[in-house]
Structure 1
Amino acid sequence: MCADTPDYKDTLFLPETDFPMRAGLPAREPEWLARWERIGVYERLREKPGRKPFILHDGPPYANGHLHIGHALNKTIKDIIVRSHQMMGFDSRYVPGWDCHGLPIEWKIEEQYRAKGRNKDDVDIVAFRQECRKFAEGWVEVQREEFKRLGVTGTWDDPYLTMDFHAEAVIAEEFMKFLMNGALYQGSKPVMWSPVEKTALAEAEVEYHDHTSHQVWVRFKPVNAVLDGASVVIWTTTPWTLPQNRAVAYNPGIDYAIFRVLSADEKATVAEGETLVLAEALVSAVMAAAKVTGFEKVRSVSAGELSGLVLAHPFRGVAEGNGEWDYDVPMLPGDHVTDDAGTGFVHTAPSHGDDDYVLGLKHGLKMTYNVEPDGSYRADLPLFAGQHIITPDGKEGPANVSVIKQLAWSGALLAKGKLKHSYPHSWRSKAPVIYRNTPQWFAAIDKTLDDGMGQYGDTIRQRALKSIEDLVKFTPVSGRNRLHSMMETRPDWVLSRQRAWGVPLTCFVRKGAKPDDAEFLLKDPRVNTRIRLAFEAEGADAWYVQGFKEKVLKDLHDPDAYEQVFDILDVWFDSGSTHAFVLRDRADGVPDGIADVYMEGTDQHRGWFHSSMLQGCGTKGRAPYRNVVTHGFTLDEKGMKMSKSIGNTVVPQEIIDQYGADILRLWVALADYTQDQRIGPEILKGTADSYRRLRNTLRFMLGALGDFDPAQAVAREDMPELEQLMLHRLAELDALVKKSYAAFDFQGVFQALFTFATTDLSAFYFDVRKDALYCDPKGSAVRQACLTVMDALFHRLTTWLAPILPFTMEDVWLSRFPGEGESVHLQDFPATPDSWLDAELAARSAKVRAVRRVVTGALEVERRNKTIGASLEAAPTVYLSPELAQIVTNPDTFATLCITSSLTLTTDPAPEGAFMAEDVAGVGVVFHHAEGEKCQRCWKILPDVGRHKHPGTCARCDAALG
């Protein structure tokens, strides 16, 4: 620039905005949280009239510890669902809740007791329950603040707690519906039992880990002469169950035979000539385990022969004067017996296994009660009295070894060994569990219910399967099959727990009556009402106050004729009942008590989804939800499960402190949450980079829109085609965004918007229109059309992204529309006219952009060769096929699109050496330098520069300067 040429920088309309380039989210996000609370955003949304309710019902986390990354994932997904549906025109309500009862919290109090040398059983039960309540209250407060910091909107000042008095009253009321409709019964059957926690466990409270078990092969000797004295051999990995054996099962479809031992290792327990009955498919493996070196088949054995065989218990005669095991052991047919492993015969202890129990029930086998709640044998059991299977600290007790030694002493032990396999453990104490027969309370899922709600079936199972098949939509769809298969095969629901902290089974049993007697359970609606009212006033603690039975039975029934049940309900019944006291009873619920969405992790197919289904089908006749949305687990960057012992856990608060909650939320949106997700330092760095690129796009828009006057907006039909194309793209995105949000597909939303913002806008549209925005006169038609489109872009991008990035979009919104009452979260997604869609224009523009891609490719070659530094130094000749020449017609418009100072269009054949692209036929480009001088205002090189009033300017800039 010559010394006498003015500096025109201050005459350009450059973007101006106070919106910071650096987000500073960790420091600034709390300010927005406080602001939303101050101006009452959530409450103001509830005031919007005429909206259809949309209810995502919150599955309650346990109030017993700081949040982990799974909590953050879960609550963020829920919040995106709630916010997006609100902005799509629903009254989208969210009531957070907590599960406050049950073993997780009770276990924490017991740990505190043990650390102080105290015994829980020495403490008044109401006082103990109050300590549990206080513990839960403390963690509710901690977790509430941690959830709010994630930007999750909802009724944080009025959440639901399962330990609220009304909640406890409703849980009891829902239980009493099972009492009244006939589903409730007391049975004695084996359940998974934790000797450490001294309680029955539900399937959802059990996890499977590798465990090394004893395995034994045991002879059962015959007491009749059916098989010429051959012993039947069983195999088991639970030797401790053998004192409870009552039968041996076989499968009539398996081929069995008698085998004679010809030779054996000197350490073997078998003798030459001994005969054993085994499945033919398994004989080699059994003989190898028994150290038999030679054997022969004597003959096949028929199912009829097996059915007539009577065996002796291996401990028969060993308890002199007691006769504990001096009974006959029958052979019974069972379909559960296979020849995949073992011997082809299954030792049957009806008190310690599901299949064993079913077989014993069918054939009238005697139940045994040899195992105490602490995992020890009963004190008067011969040989093994008081020995533990599992010790109170979760270790293996001496029972297995003692049983094996006794088997060897009595001559029944054929072989022994160790086996590493998957075994059930309590997910709280992490200790192994056992199957133990105890009297428990069950909900029958195949019994016809007396409740008049048979629209979807007469039993809980029928209603559950019908709900899954016809009433509930699953995201992902694989969840449907998973829950369906569980419901098809699940046993009756074990409702009772032998614990202290929870809602009791509010029922009375008649003294002296048996469980199958008609008068065994007291069924009186008047009594039920008194219980409910007492719980409403005093909470479930009222049940444990001296004289409560007399109080509620007074004037109705003889209190001395009934016993009060003191077991507590399975905590999954509590959370399964939440539809009643949250969805049905709250003012912000819905009268039918049915949620639009239940959303939890995939483990909840056997947890909350499952228990809510059973409970709802038992008390309202159907599932209490219309959609089930499921997310996977969170793994580290290498795909490994997170573990404190490994040191690969990611703490949400640490991410927030370093990056801000919006980065954590963006990680959620970028992942396919229906699968397992990975997170770690490198992944978070990539997430933060994506955020910065998006933020820069939004910042550019804010700067450009600083002087936009909506009164000067340009109608679509008056816009250049490039602006009409952008409106077309917005209309396409509008449909995609709303469809994806409705389908809970946030990954689809963000990927589409991110690609649009960074590719269509920053790398194309904004790049092309910078010249008009900066250099055109303020009132130019092109500039006003561009700003009109930018205004439309702004309103849509900020609201579309607000559910995912609530803090950042609030920052963007307030940067343009400051005001105490303003918030992007009070907006709906803008209505987008269908008239913006123009498929013909889009198809034509796609071809134009293809030609442009060839031109920019040719210029890039020159830039790499350092022939030019910027594209404005070029004035290429573009050779077009006749077809493309009908589309790309205006050289000035196309030069603007290519960001060159000028260009020439021709249908002449492209000369040899012209730049071409393989994927774009009919285009050739020859580079030429732009001719003329460089305009000192817009930097275009044009022939007319220097010929106007203002020195060093082109005609357009001269006019803009006036």
Structure 2
Amino acid sequence: MSDTPAESARDYRETVFLPETPFPMRGGLPQKEPVILEQWGDLYGTLRAERQKQKAPLYVLHDGPPYANGDIHIGHALNKTLKDFVVRSRFLLGYDVDYVPGWDCHGLPIEWKIEEEFRSKGRRKDEVSKEEFRRACRAYAGKYIDLQKEQFKRLGITGDFANRYATMDFTSEAAIVAEFHKFKNSGQLYRGSKPVMWSPVERTALADAEIEYHDHVSPTIWVKFPVIAASDDHSDDLLSFRNATPAIVIWTTTPWTIPANRAISYGPEIAYGLYEVTAMETGLEFEPWAKPGDRLIVADKLAEDVFKAAKIASWTRVDDLNPSGLECAHPLAALDPGYGFSVPLLSGDHVTDDAGTGFVHTAPGHGADDFEVWKAHGHHEVPDTVDPDGAYYPGVHLFAGLKVLETEGKKTGKFGPANGAVMEKLIEAGTLLARGRLEHSYPHSWRSKAPVIFRNTPQWFIRMDEPLKSGDTLRETALKSIDATAFHPAGGKNRIRSMVEGRPDWLVSRQRAWGTPLAMFIDKQTGQPLHDPEVDARIVKAVADGGADVWFTAPDSDFLGAHDPARFEKVEDILDVWFDSGSTHAFTIDPRTAESGYTGDRPSHWPADLYLEGSDQHRGWFQSSLLEGSGTRGRAPFEAVLTHGFTLDEKGEKMSKSKGNTTDPLTIIKESGADILRLWVALVDYSDDQRIGKQILQTTVDAYRKLRNTVRYLLGALADFDEAERLPLDQMPPLEKFILHRLHELDGQVRKAYGEYRFQDVVRPVLEFCSNDLSALYFDVRKDSLYCDRPDAIRRRAARTVMDEVFARLTAWLAPLTPFTMEEAWQTRFPNSQTNCARVIPETPDSWKNEAEAARWAKVQTVLETVNEQLEAARRDKVIGGALDAWPVVTGPAGAFAPFEGLDAAEVFRTSGAELVVGGEAVTAEVRLADYPKCARSWRRVPDVGSDAAYPELSARDADAVRYWDERHVG
């Protein structure tokens, strides 16, 4: 049998209706996307105007502000792309969407950068006026706002960039001050002197949200506090002290805090004992500090661990011991009378016998628990030991001026000589029992990466547990708001709830220059903030007119009016930057609500429908916004919170420039296009940490090609499609009804997934639909009809009608995710239409739902798989050249073939013919040759080739199609 048709006098290729489209196979996205951006112009403005004409419901996404320094990184790209998915998908679902991109501008990173710039010019920060310094910070932030704005736009982000917000804008700073005044005037604000996390390197207090924990190796010491007195209740205990002065043993990882010690805490439920050393370990390379006869007091549970550290070989437990009422000498008392005070034993619930000695060295100026137990026992004076630069104050005996942490030079951020000096003095005093080293998690500043210390210092706090006007405390109000908020993923609720339940009062003051000031005056006589609405109004207006700089440059009298400036102290601390960003709702969405009297063309509503940021913002922006809104408006400024994980490299490791494992989004855009990066975001499970790298991006490119090729095929197949060609549902063949059913099914899934921010559940089912239902089944089955049926044939019209519906939905469904490609496809087909981005998802008729057809094709495809396996085997064995050479005989039970009723089995199998034979229990297929002449046009081997005398080389179907073509093209 010949593999080619008989010699033909005519080339029929011109009569075949092959797909035609200018839409190229290769995307060329890096070149095309900027052109599309130019064509879009003010896309966001266009979309909002369109929806407002339609009186569409309003949806508000409030932007968590990125920091205005440096180029965007992959984390920015992930975050902003997810936000764009939300914005575009809500437009697609028929909403009017309010989204104003914003920037966080104040804070240390910019302040440091400007300090470096001045130092490079030979000027120290204290030689630069605050006005000049702040002006330089403002210019630096402005430069990077403009840079990042253009980079976000190139990524395809749509939003109200023309009216972007920034925390350093004068109106923003004024609004932040006004929000601060609400806390001041409600009584929630207070000045307290307590230990806070302090960064000597940055010379400022830090809040919990500004702390991150890194592994650190600290010196550990076991220190003896000699017992010098006991209450009358301990007369029996004192008898047991007659042989040697006993000592209570403490353990600490911060030797530098020993000069600040004022007490020892013990656990009232812990069992303690008095132990006598009987022998030391031998063969040591050094002489241990303990000796036989020493009497030590420790928790029974920890005694063995303590003695092991001190190289004590054997011991005797002398007696039980109750620490209540004991007093000790300071371990440095023998060296300097400045430490001649007694050290009381205080009961504290924070003490455990899990580690250490069962006693806690208590320095009330350097620990939260230490401070609280000290105050709880009636002590009010808290010693100041370490200055803002991390050095001992001049009045600290033995150690004045020594640095706890280095703040200058190459050793900046390293621990200074204080730890070593304290240990040497303890050895000299004979009170060091043992020492070692411990690797543990230690707090560091998230900006400088330098260690921090707890340091007692006056700061301004917002109370978490004082009742508000509602009767609830700020903590209770915030917790109620959390319970009323929808979290995506749901686990975020428990995470932020546990943080708010246990968090301390909100520390809002910082001792820096670049930020929004705590713009208030303190009455020197009462120590309380001034509450005067007229003064507050003058402050807010001055800041709105001239920016926060005016607070530092204008005379106090400009604000105080009739008040005597001599009576008041101006507070020049700046606000925690989290207060700035937590207030953004107050000057971004709240002023544009109907309640505020707004009548412009950018309406908003409060609270926002959604806040969307990384999961670290449960302790950052989500929490500061929650507290700010709860404190000023009685609820959170959001209805829902969505969080995403962090982006790691392909090995699952954290990205770092030093490792060289970063992925630059700008490079991806330049080399592959923004749609590739956006498709990667759509494909990952953003709720968890994601990975990115060359290999992963190649997988994304492969997925993109499938989508692009599907759209390209549709464009080619739909060339010149006319409405007159459209076929009604009741005339559709079964296969078309199945594809319409799949469209109905997918439409519901896509709408629901977009509504619930599950973008992965949009793109993955659509990709599977393109690969399985379209490319592997529908396009393949209908290829012959599209290419060879005459244009007015019912089957071809049905196929093109369905493909038109597929195209309409694919370009809509994927528009939020790959907007450039879908825009290119839409404009290729409809060059004079409005942008694809302005469309809503076409309504999908319920009449398309057809479970019976879906069930039929599930069974048909089971038989098809068996046939395809045998066809592939026959091709491998060179029995056939292609499927059209085959005429399979398929044998199986009658039930297996029932779904084929009304179908052409050969068409389904893509063969020239087929025979279904009932018999046997399983479906089997035998590939036989189609022993008929080959049609010169369609290459099918069918019995009716030559049946039309005018076209002897063609089948009857093809002869009819060519006659149709000839009538319109010949002559």
Interval of TM-score (by shorter of Structure 1 and Structure 2): over 0.9
Give the Cα separation in 2 of the matches to 1:509 and 1:4: 103
Matched with 1:377 is 392
Give the Cα separation in 2 of the matches to 1:717 and 1:748: 32
Give the Cα separation in 1 of the matches to 2:759 and 2:519: 44
Matched with 1:512 is 525
Contact 2:48 2:96 in 1 (8 A): no
Deviations 1:62-88 (A, max 9, x none): 101111111111111110111011100
Alignment of 1:406-445 (within 5 A): 406-445=425-464
Contact 1:508 1:521 in 2 (8 A): yes
Aligned: 1:727 with 2:732:
no
Pick from 841, 855, 865: which aligns with 2:867?
855
Give the Cα separation in 1 of the matches to 2:42 and 2:348: 68
Alignment of 1:362-373 (within 5 A): 362-365=376-379, 366-373=381-388
Matched with 2:579 is 573
Give the Cα separation in 2 of the matches to 1:4 and 1:805: 47
Residue aligned with 1:296, SS = strand
Deviations 1:535-582 (A, max 9, x none): 1111111111131x2112112x22221111100000000000011101
Change (3 A) 1:333 1:98: same
Matched with 2:298 is 278
Matched with 2:59 is 54
Q: Structure 1 counterpart of 2:570, which letter? A: Q
Matched with 1:915 is none
Contact 1:371 1:436 in 2 (8 A): yes
Give the Cα separation in 2 of the matches to 1:592 and 1:496: 30
TM-fit CA distance, 1:752: 0.3
Matched with 2:548 is 540
Contact 2:13 2:937 in 1 (8 A): yes
TM-fit CA distance, 1:44: 4.2
Pick from 343, 358, 362: which aligns with 1:329?
343
Matched with 2:595 is none
Give the Cα separation in 2 of the matches to 1:387 and 1:756: 70
Matched with 1:959 is 960
Residue aligned with 2:643, SS = strand
Aligned: 1:287 with 2:307:
yes
Aligned: 1:204 with 2:214:
no
Alignment of 1:497-508 (within 5 A): 497-508=510-521
Residue aligned with 1:862, SS = helix
Matched with 1:495 is 508
Deviations 1:258-302 (A, max 9, x none): 11101124611112111100111111111111111111211122x
Answer with 428-437 or 261-270: which moved more: 261-270
Alignment of 1:468-483 (within 5 A): 468-469=482-483, 471-483=484-496
Matched with 2:12 is 8
Matched with 1:24 is 28
Give the Cα separation in 2 of the matches to 1:376 and 1:244: 13
Change (3 A) 1:298 1:630: same
Matched with 2:225 is 220
TM-fit CA distance, 1:173: 0.5
Matched with 2:325 is 308
Matched with 1:186 is 191
TM-score by length of 1: 0.95
Aligned: 1:142 with 2:147:
yes
TM-fit CA distance, 1:46: 5.1
Change (3 A) 1:147 1:591: closer
Gaps of 5+ in 1: 515-519, 911-920
Q: Structure 1 counterpart of 2:414, which letter? A: K
Matched with 1:670 is 683
Aligned: 1:552 with 2:559:
yes
Pick from 350, 358, 361: which aligns with 2:372?
358
Matched with 1:914 is none
Q: Structure 2 counterpart of 1:553, which letter? A: L
Matched with 1:625 is 638
Aligned length: 930
Give the Cα separation in 1 of the matches to 2:21 and 2:916: 39
Matched with 2:260 is 244
Q: Structure 2 counterpart of 1:582, which letter? A: T
Residue aligned with 1:448, SS = coil
Deviations 1:237-272 (A, max 9, x none): 011111111111111121211111011246111121
Alignment of 1:552-951 (within 5 A): 552-555=559-562, 557-586=563-592, 592-819=605-832, 822-890=834-902, 893-907=904-918, 909-910=919-920, 922-948=922-948, 949-951=950-952
Deviations 1:337-364 (A, max 9, x none): 1111111100011111111111122113
Deviations 1:719-740 (A, max 9, x none): 0011011110000000000111
Pick from 459, 473, 476: which aligns with 1:459?
473
Deviations 1:802-851 (A, max 9, x none): 111011111111110113x6311011111111111111221122112222
Answer with 46-55 or 726-735: which moved more: 46-55
Deviations 1:452-482 (A, max 9, x none): xx3xx6111101111111x211111111111
Matched with 1:524 is 532
Residue aligned with 1:887, SS = helix
TM-fit CA distance, 1:634: 0.7
Give the Cα separation in 2 of the matches to 1:844 and 1:121: 81
Change (3 A) 1:319 1:142: same
Contact 2:365 2:385 in 1 (8 A): no
TM-fit CA distance, 1:202: 1.5
TM-fit CA distance, 1:189: 0.7
Residue aligned with 2:847, SS = helix
Residue aligned with 2:339, SS = coil
Give the Cα separation in 1 of the matches to 2:42 and 2:418: 64
TM-fit CA distance, 1:588: 6.8
Give the Cα separation in 1 of the matches to 2:383 and 2:119: 32
Residue aligned with 1:933, SS = coil
Alignment of 1:31-180 (within 5 A): 31-37=35-41, 41-42=46-47, 44-45=49-50, 47-180=52-185
Q: Structure 2 counterpart of 1:127, which letter? A: E
Give the Cα separation in 2 of the matches to 1:117 and 1:300: 66
Give the Cα separation in 1 of the matches to 2:12 and 2:770: 30
Contact 2:21 2:716 in 1 (8 A): yes
Answer with 847-856 or 668-677: which moved more: 847-856
Residue aligned with 2:174, SS = helix
Q: Structure 1 counterpart of 2:359, which letter? A: F
Give the Cα separation in 1 of the matches to 2:938 and 2:198: 80
Contact 1:57 1:94 in 2 (8 A): yes
Identity of paired residues, percent?
A: 52
Deviations 1:519-547 (A, max 9, x none): x2211222211111111111111111131
TM-fit CA distance, 1:42: 4.3
Contact 2:827 2:835 in 1 (8 A): yes
TM-fit CA distance, 1:878: 2.3
Contact 1:42 1:154 in 2 (8 A): no
TM-score by length of 2: 0.94
Change (3 A) 1:879 1:152: same
TM-fit CA distance, 1:197: 0.6
Deviations 1:737-768 (A, max 9, x none): 01111111111111000000111101110000
Change (3 A) 1:268 1:374: same
Q: Structure 1 counterpart of 2:565, which letter? A: P
Change (3 A) 1:544 1:492: same
Give the Cα separation in 2 of the matches to 1:579 and 1:157: 18
Aligned: 1:267 with 2:273:
no
Answer with 132-141 or 352-361: which moved more: 352-361
Contact 2:60 2:604 in 1 (8 A): no
TM-fit CA distance, 1:924: 2.7
Give the Cα separation in 2 of the matches to 1:115 and 1:434: 29
Deviations 1:674-702 (A, max 9, x none): 11111111111111111112111110000
TM-fit CA distance, 1:791: 0.6
